[in-house]
Amino acid sequence: MVFSLTPEQAMLQESASRFLGDRYDDAARRRFRAEDAGFSLDIWQEIARLGWLGSGFSEQRGGFGGGPIETMILMEAAGNALMSEPLLGSMVLPGSVLAEAGSYDDLAHLIEGKSLFAVAWDEPEQPSALEPATVAEPCGDGLAIHGEKKLVLGGQIADVLLVTAKLDGRLAILRVQSDVGGVDVRTHRTLDGGKAANVRFDSARIDRSDVLASGNEAPAVVSEMLARAIAAACAESLGAARNLHDRTLDYLKLRVQFGRRIGEFQALQHRMADMFIALEEAQSLSMMATAALEEPNGDHRDRILSAAKIGVMGRAMHIGREAIQLHGGVGMTDELPIGDGYKRIKSLSLMFGDEDFHLDRMNSLAV
């Protein structure tokens, strides 16, 4: 089915898929994951040179004039290649925060690949991302941060952390060098084979000028970041689901049992047809989420994004489960990338609000 892009967008899609086709295969991914960062810093520099990191930002903000659609294209391609480089954690999240908070010098560094950023926002015990338990207290001329953040994507390698905290009882976003005293970055492996970090702040000192956003602005910046994260996660999940769908279809055409290709069995044909339908619908919902980012922030947009998150993840998980089952025993092996795709989709389905979270949000915003 069609999906119209501008010539520039088509070029980006073409270039991303060519680059990933050339440079990325199962063996490369394994090699990259074994590196200290959990991904390849060389690849990160290459995609910076290719212009990926600035493709989702307008020219006023130091980007290359693109927007959500460019991000969607890249996230889908990255998902399809089961890429281990943290586009979500080190591009989408901090890029959105820096752009919305007006930190264009930092954004330029992110886009050029000169510095790595990560957003430390998640505190699983807190009911809302807008109400962190982490606090910033006056300390001398500056501030001291106390608190703990979980699952900081890209935090294992970030030069700069963008931290949500309460300042004078209100949400603020703080810029913290990861190597200052009082910042304890603990790297851990993740379900999808990559890495992330838990970060403790124990009187970590910053200047007042490191407050990137506060007052009414900070909640808007965080909400926008989460909205962009949801759309990006949908696109990446769709890409991973397409990978599993295509590999499963290939396998049905190859594998012979009972003297014929198993794709000739109607029971399997119908399951494959349902995977195809799920993929088409996931594609539609991912595009809907991206289109919603152009709308003003508000209840309608939140509802659409929640619906997309529930719908894409549910369909991608279905494809993931079926991909393992239809591959049979080999689908369970670590050697095949089926499990990698499944685990990536599962991870994305739990991030930025799981199904329960988004059902609650849809219910509360019901029209």
Residues that bind other proteins (CB under 8 A): 1-5, 69, 249, 252-253, 263-264, 266, 269-270, 272-274, 276-277, 280-285, 287-288, 290-291, 304, 307-308, 310-311, 314-315, 359, 362-363, 366
Look up tokens 């000028």; give the residue.
209
CA angle 89, 92, 98 (to 5 degrees): 105
Pick from 40, 2, 34, 4: nearest CA to 19: 40
Shortest distance, position 9 Cβ to other proteins, whole Å: 9
Q: How far is the CB of 182 from other proteins (least distance, A)?
A: 43
Q: Whole-number minimum distance, CB 17 to other proteins, in Å?
A: 18
Q: How far apart are CA 282 and CA 276, in angstroms?
A: 10
In the complex with other proteins, the residue whose CB is nearer, 109 or 228, is 228
Q: Which residues contact 68 (CB under 8 A, 6 or more apart)?
A: 56, 228, 231, 290, 291, 293, 294
Q: How far is the CB of 361 from other proteins (least distance, A)?
A: 9
Q: Are 98 and 161 in contact, with CB atoms under 8 Å apart?
A: no
Q: With respect to other proteins, which residue has the nearer C-beta, 38 or 353?
A: 353
Write out the H or E segment, with its range, that includes residue 268.
Answer: helix 266-292
Q: Which of 28, 57, 54 is nearest to 43 (CA)?
A: 28
Q: How far is the CB of 327 from other proteins (least distance, A)?
A: 16
State the greatest distance between any 2 C-alpha atoms of the chain, in Å, as a whole number: 79
To the nearest whole angstrom, how small is the minimum distance from the Cβ of residue 6 to other proteins?
9
Calculate helix-pair angle for 217-254, 338-350, nearest 10 degrees: 150
> Given the complex with other proteins, which of 216 and 266 has the nearer CB atom?
266
Cβ nearer to other proteins, comparing 72 with 91:
72
Q: Which is nearer to other proteins, 229 or 308 (CB)?
A: 308
Q: Which is nearer to other proteins, 1 or 27 (CB)?
A: 1
Expressed in angstroms, the distance from the first to the final Cα of the chain is 31
